[in-house]
Amino acid sequence: MLSLARTSQARAAATAKAKVRVAAACRGVGTQAPWKQRGESQKQRQRQPQRDTETEETQTQTQYRPQSRRIQAKEAAALGGPQQTATSAARYWPKLETPKHAKRFTYHDLDGAEENGPVSVAWTDKFLFVEDPATENGRRTLKPATLRDSCACPRCRDTSSGQKTFSSVEIPVEIGLEHVKPTKKGLEIKFLNDIPRFVENGQEHVMVLPWESVDLSLKRKGMEDVRLPRKRSVLRRTGVVYWDRETIAQQVRRIDYAEFMKDNSEAFWDVIIDICRFGLVYLKNVPRDEESIVRITTRIANIRETFYGRTFDVRAKPNAENVAYTSGYLGLHQDLLYLDPPPMIQVLHCMDNSCPGGESLFSDGERVGRLLWPFITRHRMAPLAEHHVPYQYGKNGYHYFSSRYVLDGNTAGFSNVYWSPPFQGKYLSPVKDIRQWIEPARIFASLINDKEAIHEHKMEPGDCVLFDNLRVLHGRNAFDVSAQGGGSRWLRGAYIAAEDFLSRAAHIPKGMAEKYRGEQPWTPGLAQHRLKQSAWHEDVVRMVKELDPGVEA
């Protein structure tokens, strides 16, 4: 049951992804990448409504218009209807006039740390208008029902859980504004027609709209300035260092286990920061105890249990249920790509590693993915981002399946790299011709497997490695348990899901995250730009040229 559900879910997700991709491809014109073009136009589209006519009646804004009616109206207009001259954006998201009778004030927090300057506020019983007098960012109309829904006062949000004490459907649709006044924390709002049970028996209900929300509405602050448990939001603070053999050797840290385990220790946050920046960090002096893996992992977040167990043992054994549990060479790969999503963090604690061989191998897959990303607009390279590679596990009563592009992304740019040859599934119907994919996939393979790209380290007992499975590919050299003098190799492992890790990483103390990053916040655009300036880029161009001579640097 479970496996079937997973499979159909994965398929549905894959189909949806494919549709987005096709849509993106259709939008793309000219030589520039389609997502870049779309990025531009999206911004313009967002801005347009405020710049256009302001004649629409205030009243119409309160009416809800389903998407289909919008489309019908547009069609009517195309047929010569009365709205022919107005753009659809201006027609449906008009900038509201501030009515003459509106009450007004300007707030300026003179002694506060507010760097964004004064805000002009106007309000009627139906709307709250905020405006930045200093810029042309326009005026925003905040809606009473939406404001009411976001109230975070102790009566609306449980003070211990932070959860809502009312349901959005309780808000009367005719809710309005009775009073608005500025305070240091934000705009204090009293509602007309508030949720009855909040105001019965003469009770007062007052909401405070934080200035941060006002700044977000005015776009004086971007969503990227809000601390969210999203990868991009976290990396913006920590920065990212893409690496090859030499650069990681200089910068990778081995942090003391006892320091890492201490409450509120800087060493703990250093581990989190290094996972974000490098996707790789070591602990040393870890006790040789089977429970150490649990202690280390749960120091960060809850464990992501899989069908391999809450924790797992990597050692050679007969009839292994995973190729990792043999003594052979294991090429660079990511774990569990047949799960959706695959776990983000992998923790491996070395218990024994006394036999010859068995060195751990790591390569920065995202570095290679981002270096190749600009070339996927080329016909010969496109299969890396368009061909679905199947991943599957189907033994011992389990059945998991997912399919992934080697280079995944969307209109906003590169998002992930997926590469795991030993765990690929079968093509259910070999009608598909994978030859077009093989050649660019070889370029990817040779870049990640380049001797200069691979960080090799023989883990000693007491070592523990933590790495980002969604970014860094890992593998190991063969080892010989039958060698003279005996010896054994035993690692214990556990995973953490992305959402659990990012929930933790969102709390990296202010100042610590930025300490290593430098002045400029990390953005994907900046990352792509810097990679293009790097010496690696030339190697990539050379290799891509062998397949596609027309390519330009």
**How far is 455 from 362, CA to CA, in rounded Å?**
5
| Residue partners of 3: CB distance under 8 A and separation at least 6 | 398, 399, 400, 401
Residue 389 contacts residue 377 (beta carbons within 8 Å)? no
The DSSP letter of residue 80 is: T
The residue among 78 and 153 lying less far from Zn ion, judged by its C-beta, is 153
- Chain positions 406 to 435 lying near Zn ion, rule: CB under 5 A, are none
Least distance to Zn ion, CB of residue 149, Å: 10
Q: Which is nearer to Zn ion, 29 or 169 (CB)?
A: 169
Concatenate the DSSP letters of all residues of 266-299 into one string. HHHHHHHHHHHHHSEEEEES--S-TTHHHHHHHH
Please identify, using beta-carbon distances, which residue of 156 and 330 lies nearer to Zn ion.
Answer: 156
Residues 6+ apart with CB under 8 A from 328: 478
Q: Least separation, in Å, of the C-beta of 151 and Zn ion?
A: 3
Number of chain residues interacting with Zn ion (CB under 5 A): 3
Judged on CB neighbours under 10 Å (0-12, 13-18, 19+), 214 is buried
Closest distance to Zn ion from the beta carbon of 221 (Å): 23
Nearer to Zn ion, 143 or 232 (CB): 143
Q: Which tokens sit at 384?
A: 């890396």
Q: Decide if residue 153 touches Zn ion (CB under 5 A).
A: yes
CB of 269 to Zn ion, least distance (A): 35
3-state secondary structure of 249: helix
Q: Tell whether residue 464 is a contact of Zn ion (CB under 5 A).
A: no
Scanning 16-24, 149-157, 211-219, 220-228 for contacts with Zn ion by CB under 5 A, the matching segment is 149-157
Binding pattern to Zn ion, positions 36-75, x when CB under 5 A?
A: ----------------------------------------
Q: Which residue lies nearer to Zn ion by CB, 194 or 364?
A: 194
Kindly write out the interface string for residues 375-404 of this chain, putting x where it contacts Zn ion by CB under 5 A and - elsewhere: ------------------------------
Q: Rounded distance, CA 544 to CA 444, Å?
A: 10
Is residue 4 within the footprint of Zn ion (CB under 5 A)?
Answer: no
**Which is closer to Zn ion, CB of 204 or CB of 263?**
204
Stretch that binds Zn ion, among 85-93, 108-116, 151-159, 275-283 (CB under 5 A): 151-159
Please state the closest distance from residue 175 (CB atom) to Zn ion, in A: 13
Q: Which is nearer to Zn ion, 151 or 361 (CB)?
A: 151
Stretch that binds Zn ion, among 145-153, 260-268, 284-292, 330-338 (CB under 5 A): 145-153
Nearer to Zn ion, 165 or 446 (CB): 165
Least Å distance between CB 150 and Zn ion?
9
Provide the token pair at 252. Answer: 């990778």
In angstroms, the Cα distances linking 494 to 183, 250, 359 are 49, 27, 19
Q: Verify binding: residue 189, Zn ion, rule CB under 5 A.
A: no
Min dist CB 193 to Zn ion, Å, is 15
Least distance to Zn ion, CB of residue 210, Å? 13
As a whole number of angstroms, the distance between CA 135 and CA 140 comes to 13
Residue (of 358, 339, 365) closest to 469 by Cα position? 365
CB of residue 124 to Zn ion, shortest distance in Å:
21
**One-letter amino acid of 320:** A
Task: Provide the minimum distance between the beta carbon of 195 and Zn ion in the complex, in angstroms, as a whole number.
Answer: 9
Residue nearer to Zn ion on the CB measure, 153 or 553:
153
Nearer residue to Zn ion within complex by CB, 148 or 504: 148
Quick one: 191 or 268, whose CB is closer to Zn ion? 191
Residue 84 class from Cβ within 10 Å (0-12 exposed, 13-18 middle, 19+ buried)?
A: exposed
What's the rounded Cα separation, in Å, for the pair 149 and 214?
15
Buried b (16+ CB within 10 A) or exposed e, 45-58: eeeebbebeeebee
Residue in 269, 275, 281 with CA at minimum distance from that of residue 240: 275
Point out which span in 116-124, 147-155, 244-252, 468-476 binds Zn ion (CB under 5 A): 147-155
**Stretches 2-10, 87-95, 146-154, 245-253: which one binds Zn ion (CB under 5 A)?**
146-154
First to last CA, the chain: 50
Minimum gap (Å) between residue 201 Cβ and Zn ion: 16
Q: In what order do the strands lie in the sheet with 464-468?
A: 254-256, 280-284, 464-468, 345-353, 489-496, 312-314
151 binds Zn ion (CB under 5 A): yes
Residue identified by tokens 């709250």 is 128
Choices 104-112, 152-160, 293-301, 465-473 (CB under 5 A): range interacting with Zn ion:
152-160
Look at residue 430 and give its three-state secondary structure.
coil
Closer by beta carbon to Zn ion, 208 or else 382: 208
Nearest distance from C-beta of residue 207 to Zn ion, angstroms? 5
Does position 156 interact with Zn ion (CB under 5 A)? The reply is: yes
Query: Could you give the CA distance from residue 331 to residue 313 in angstroms, rounded to a whole number?
Result: 19
Whether residue 287 has a cis bond before it, omega within 30° of 0: no
Residue ranges binding Zn ion (CB under 5 A): 151, 153, 156
